[in-house]
Amino acid sequence: MRFLLRIVLATALVNIAPAVAQAPKKAVASPALQKEFDGFIEKFRAALKANDSAAVASMSRLPFMNDKEIRDAAQFRAKIYQTDFTAKNRACIQRGKAVYDRDQENNDNYGIFCGDTIFVFTKTPAGFLFTDIGVND
């Protein structure tokens, strides 16, 4: 009986070991990328503090979330800023910790979680831009 228990235990350990060894590594931003993002988010937060929807729109990728109905700054301010940048969300973004990650297309992203919402900032050829609002999953 002991022999059978040892075989079962050994088999279980052999099957578990590769899964543990292949656990995904947490993405880490380079110091240069972090510095670039820090400069961007400082300006973005200043625009939020001033409740400057035009400045926020200028730091956003348009059309926003590839939606042709939000293709310019005026549409962004009317459809996104008014509804998603409430006083509560603006305060959250100003004090929230940005979390770095890489997406499926290998883009550098930072996200700030505010309750059930995540605000995403992506490194683009033009520098960092506000690119997405999603559900915090």
Per-residue model confidence as pLDDT tens digits over 23-78: 556 789 999 999 999 999 999 999 999 999 999 999 999 999 999 999 999 999 99
Helical axes 31-49 vs 87-95, angle rounded to 10°:
150
What are 11-36's pLDDT values in tens digits?
444 454 444 445 556 789 999 999 99
Q: Return the residue matching tokens 């915090």.
A: 136
In degrees, rounded to 5, the angle at the alpha carbon of residue 98 between the alpha carbons of residues 97 and 101 is 140
In the chain, % of residues over pLDDT 90: 79
What are 107-116's pLDDT values in tens digits?
999 999 999 9
Whether the pTM exceeds 0.85: the reply is no
Predicted confidence (pLDDT) at residue 9 exceeds the cutoff of 50: no
Phi–psi pair at 121, nearest 5 degrees: -125, 130
The predicted structure's pLDDT at residue 131: 98
